[in-house]
Structure 1
Amino acid sequence: MHRRAFVTTVAGIWLGCLGISSCSSAPSATTSATNMAGADEAVDLTISVAASVQDAMKAVQIAYEAEAPQVSITYNFGSSGSLAQQITQGAPADVFLSASQKWMDDLEAQEQLLEGSRRDLLLNSLVLIVPQGKDDVTGFRDITTDKVGRLSIGEPASVPAGRYAREVLISINMFDVLQPKLVFGKDVRQVLAYVETGNVDAGVVYATDATVADRVRVVATAPADSHSPIVYSIGVVADSAHAEAAQALVEFLVSDTATAIFEEYGFTPVN
């Protein structure tokens, strides 16, 4: 997939554009943030991000900090539910990117998001994966058989991928019978790791997670109508001390540059 080369290329393009005025005549979201905060004023943004987006967001960081060198980004990766709880409890965060609408809805209801800053950003799908070399599992119908002794999904109460996986298993009348086999992960990347290492025989993760793992194989994609729509939303945290710079980052994430990065990592931009 050449992701490292892709990231380097993106950074190079944007560094080049900084020195060539013809790259763009229109001010970017980052330029606006620079004008508002002052070109020499350093801004440190803390971004709480759903674990499933971490690879793409690391690539975004390279492109964004090249365009806005006065902005430094620190990521806090985890399950959306845990991150939302941290924000509610006062943990420092300027922007929240959630893999579930539920947690954004909860924060919005508690007035924890800056009014008008919330945007739907990305779409994803759900897949069944097995370790490379395990060829006897070909679809969801096999997970109730002796071919699968342990199946991992995210913890449904706090991990959106786990909640979506539970919906899928309920829709195909397998959730109850699979209870003895289920191994829950604290986030979707832990589920992926369980499958990669062979600690479980199969797992349900986002399609984008499977694309960044060389030691797993996708055997089935869950039908879109078997679970709630997988929509990633983003918004500025109401208590952010850098609301303008945080909003500029949110706007950058819907730019052509960020969209290309997300697509490279398998996400579908909402717009």
Structure 2
Amino acid sequence: MVDMRSILGRSRVRQAVSAAVLGFGLTLAAPAAMAQDVLVLAAASTKNAVDKLAAQFKAKSGLSVTSSFAASSALAKQIENDAPADIFISADLDWMDYLQKRDLIKTGSRTNLLGNELVVVVPKGTALKPDLSKGGKLAEQLGDGRLATGDPSNVPVGKYAKAALESLGQWQAVEPRLARADSVRAALMLVSRGEVPMGIVYRTDAAIDPGVEVAAVFPPDSYPPITYPAALVAASKSSAAAAFLDYMKSPEGMAVWKEFGFVPAPKAP
């Protein structure tokens, strides 16, 4: 006579073993899947474009791109302190150089990806026309307010702004009136909210915020060419990171950058 309890017992054991094997298989598969995903640390000014590029890349490849945005200086320091990252996009050459000198990027992957322009923005509907002439009166035009831009000591947009104002002979008058933001998007927000009467940002940032308008454009020879380098991080374990970097450089990728107002990277002198 067949012992049904014995059969049921063996069946439950097989189910338990199968479940354990399946669970173990999923556990093993997870790191491999995670290794395929891409983590990008990118300059704050690239946010809208990188988000769209990531969505398009996932639609094509099925691979996820996670991005974190801040001032290039903050991101470079995070990488230096072993924060996980696969790709770094800087808003200036200095912070990429900083990582390269410390062997924290894959030098052969480094590329100058994009360019940009430096502008003065004011709250939408403001009639103010900033004076960007040599020896002009920008500081006086601020009235009791301040001029928002990135902190010139470390944030790329602030460094470009300082160079431009120095070139125009206006830095000494303007410096005490700065609102030093920790990123270009933070400076943009101060203007958009009407907390300051003017800000110096990139043209691409001005284009995405309906609360501001471009009131003046700095002469292109008044500051170093704005260059966005990108590179793979030396500690990256993602097998898909190089593919996403290539995608951002492809004609399809460059069309997205152009859509958000970026221009091709300046040619090296």
For 1:109, the aligned partner's letter is K
- Could you say what secondary structure the match of 1:176 adopts? helix
The code of the aligned residue for 1:66 comes to A
Aligned to 2:240: 245
Question: After the TM superposition, which of the residue ranges 173-182 and 51-60 deviates more from structure 2?
Answer: 173-182
Indicate if the aligned counterparts of 2:129 and 2:216 stay in contact, CA closer than 8 A: no
**Contact 2:115–2:228 at 8 Å: present in 1 too?**
yes
Deviation, structure 1 residue 153: 1.1
Is 1:183 aligned to residue 175 of structure 2?
A: no
Counterpart for residue 16 of structure 1 = none
Q: 2:42, 2:142 → 1: CA distance?
A: 35
CA deviation string 1:196-234 (max 9, x = no partner): 001101000000000111111111111111111100010
CA shift in 2, pair 1:90/1:197, >3 Å = same
Q: Show the counterpart of 1:267.
A: 262
SS of the equivalent of 2:103 reads: coil
1:106 partner amino acid: Y
Structure 2: which amino acid aligns with 1:133? G
Of 49, 66, 81, 2:42 maps to 49
SS in 2 for 1:193: helix
TM-score normalised over the length of structure 1: 0.81
Structure number with greater Rg is 2
Task: Pick from 97, 108, 112 the counterpart of residue 116 of structure 1.
Answer: 108
Provide the C-alpha distance between the structure 2 equivalents of 1:221 and 1:233, rounded to a whole number of angstroms: 23
Taking the aligned partners of 2:96 and 2:194, their CA distance within structure 1 comes to 34
Instruction: Provide the residue aligned with 1:105 in structure 2.
Output: 97
| Within-5 A mapping of 1:72-87 | 72-87=64-79
Report the Cα distance in structure 2 between the residues aligned to 1:185 and 1:193, rounded to whole angstroms.
10
Alignment of 1:118-267 (within 5 A): 118-140=110-132, 141-148=136-143, 149-242=145-238, 244-267=239-262
Kindly provide the CA deviation profile for residues 115-164 of structure 1, in whole angstroms up to 9, marking residues without a partner as x: 30101100001001111122033433452214442111101122100100
Residue of structure 2 in register with 1:92 after alignment: 84
Unpaired segments of 5 or more residues in structure 1?
A: 1-39
Q: What is residue 22 of structure 1 aligned with on the other side?
A: none
Residues 85 and 233, structure 2, Cα contact 8 Å, conserved in 1: yes
Work out whether 1:63 is the aligned partner of 2:56: yes
Give the conservation status (yes or no) of the 8 Å contact 1:51–1:77.
yes
Taking the aligned partners of 1:135 and 1:54, their CA distance within structure 2 comes to 29
Q: Aligned-residue CA RMSD in angstroms?
A: 1.5
Q: Give the letter for the 1:250 counterpart.
A: L
- 2-structure distance, mates of 1:145, 1:188: 23
The verdict on how the C-alpha distance between 1:236 and 1:146 changes in structure 2, with shifts beyond 3 A counting, is: closer
Contact 2:73 2:154 in 1 (8 A): yes
* Displacement after TM superposition at 1:174 (Å): 1.2
Structure ranking higher in helix proportion:
2
Gaps of 5+ in 2: 1-31
Q: Is the 8 A contact 1:95 1:235 kept in 2?
A: yes
Partner of 2:225, secondary structure, is coil
Check conservation: 1:137, 1:143, Cα contact below 8 A. no
Q: When the two structures are aligned, how many residues end up with a matched partner?
A: 230
CA 1:245–1:198 in structure 2 vs 1: closer, same or farther (change >3 Å)?
same
Q: CA deviation at 1:269?
A: 2.4
